[in-house]
Amino acid sequence: MPEPSQTPLEQHNIPLLERIDFVTVKLPFVHPFGTSVQTWTHKEALLLRLESGGYVAWSECVADPDPFYLSETTSTVRHIMRDFLLPLIEPGATIGEVMQKFRHVRGHEMAKATVENALLVWFALQRGVALHALLGWPAKKIMSGISIGLRDTQTELLDAVESAVAKKYHRVKMKIMKGKDVEWVRAVRERFPDLQLMVDANGDYTLDDAAHLQKLDAFALTMIEQPLSYSDIYQHALLQDRLRTPLCLDESLHTFDDVTTAIALDACRVINIKQGRVGGLLESIRIARYAMEHGIGVWSGGMDETGIGRAVNIHLQTADGFSLPGDTSETLNYFTEDIVEQPVVLDRHGFIDVPPGPGLGITVDPQLLMKYMIHSERVR
């Protein structure tokens, strides 16, 4: 695969980073977030703060403190950033050169994305432009989507779907797992016949479950996300061959190369891009363009981020190729109180505005940051 030509964006020069801090915050969720792999009661997020020339750029790492979604954790990310990635940044180098050097570090996409995000936000602030404009796209209204975690009863699930429908979310995703699948989907579909509905299994099934998963074809789901292992692509292709419902990959895709493999094998017809999982915004944009050229739908996933990470996902969705509603829901769906001042809200048609202003268009509230901070470390 030839390397793409460097865009002007990749030629911005890196400043001397005067001050670098890692800050960890821990916020309680409004409702525990249940998946087939883990139930999270809190969002623990590692933040990176870069300061240079009077501009302060924040970014948020998508890793959890545990390795249950993917292998990176907040601790591995701190280690890789401190000991390997940050030392590769030389003042005067271009962002393209830095990202090229990052390829020397294998894997650790979430760590790479955290550093890249912060550098791009710093450039946007310094130039006085919004992040989406720095990336090359005009502002537009972003489609909304909600990811509803596993519930104890079908009644609770139906209540959660009902309030999402009332808010005009463009599509609803429900988590499934073995034992909470076909009948639970049937209950939702019977009550909401026209809803854009999809499911996410976070890898709970194997190919032996293909006949069982075929029962989901009856419910006009827009897609089934990551039914099989987090490390598989090939068996998803075998499964896709046996299903009418499009498959969507999440955990299995970490790089542009993974995406070309998945598309070549017809392992999925839709791609969930989490910018943190694929190593950052520039890789996300390359993937979205490639997918679009191959007729594959793309949407932005989420990791239950605080307002910092959610703003990044919103800016990214102005890019070409993001044709489907993503996992971008209102702040109040996650937290009663966030660390940023501007909450994400839906308008009466279910759309989300890109926060206006330079950089991410959001401001970190120093008092709330202190309130939820559990750790901080000055790196430079």
Nearer to ligand OSB, 126 or 144 (CB): 144
327 in contact with ligand OSB (CB under 6 A): yes
Catalytic, 167? Answer: no
Check if the beta carbon of residue 105 is closer than 8 Å to that of residue 112.
yes
| 306 counts as binding ligand OSB under rule CB under 6 A | no
Six-digit token string for 113: 């994305």
Asked if residue 327 binds Mg ion (CB under 5 A), the reply is no
User: 220: how many CB neighbours lie within 10 A of its CB?
Assistant: 14
- CA 379, CA 364: separation in Å to the nearest integer? 20
CB of 173 to Mg ion, least distance (A): 8
Q: What are phi and psi of 63, to 5 degrees?
A: -65, 145
Phi and psi torsions of 86, nearest 5° = -60, -40
Catalytic pick from 43, 112, 180, 274? 274
Residue nearest to Mg ion (CB): 250
Q: Which does 69 bind (CB under 5 to 8 A by kind): Mg ion, ligand OSB, none?
A: ligand OSB
Counting contacts by CB under 6 A, is residue 248 touching ligand OSB? no
Concatenated DSSP letters of 51-119: EETTEEEEEE---BSSSSSSS-BHHHHHHHIIIIIGGG--TT-BHHHHHHHHTTS-S-HHHHHHHHHHH
* Smallest distance, ligand OSB to C-beta of residue 147, A: 4
In the list ligand OSB, Mg ion, none, the entry touching 302 (Cβ below 5 to 8 angstroms by class) is ligand OSB
Q: Using the rule CB under 6 A, is 69 a contact of ligand OSB?
A: yes
Answer yes or no: 274 catalytic: yes
Binding mask 225-244 for Mg ion (x = CB under 5 A): x-------------------
Q: How far is the CB of 128 from ligand OSB (least distance, A)?
A: 29
Stretch that binds ligand OSB, among 233-241, 288-296, 299-307, 339-347 (CB under 6 A): 299-307
Of residues 44, 116, 232, 304, which one binds ligand OSB by CB under 6 A?
304
Whole-angstrom distance, CA of residue 286 vs CA of residue 92 = 25
CA 57 – CA 243 distance, rounded (Å): 45
User: Exposed, middle or buried by CB within 10 Å (0-12, 13-18, 19+), for 304?
Assistant: buried
Q: If you search the block for the tokens 């924040």, which residue do you land on?
A: 58
Residue 44 contacts ligand OSB per CB under 6 A: no
List the alpha helices (DSSP H) in the chain: 74-80, 95-102, 109-127, 131-135, 154-166, 182-191, 210-214, 234-240, 256-264, 281-293, 307-316, 366-372
Least separation in angstroms between residue 204's CB and ligand OSB is 11
Q: Report the residue number, 97 or 304, with the smaller CB distance to ligand OSB.
A: 304
Q: Which of 87, 106, 82, 109 is nearest to 98 (CA)?
A: 87
Residue 305 sits in the site that holds Mg ion (CB under 5 A): no
CB closer to Mg ion out of 301 and 359: 301
Which residues sit at the interface with ligand OSB, rule CB under 6 A? 69, 147, 200, 202, 250, 301-304, 327, 329
Which residues sit at the interface with Mg ion, rule CB under 5 A? 200, 225, 250
Active site residues: 175, 274
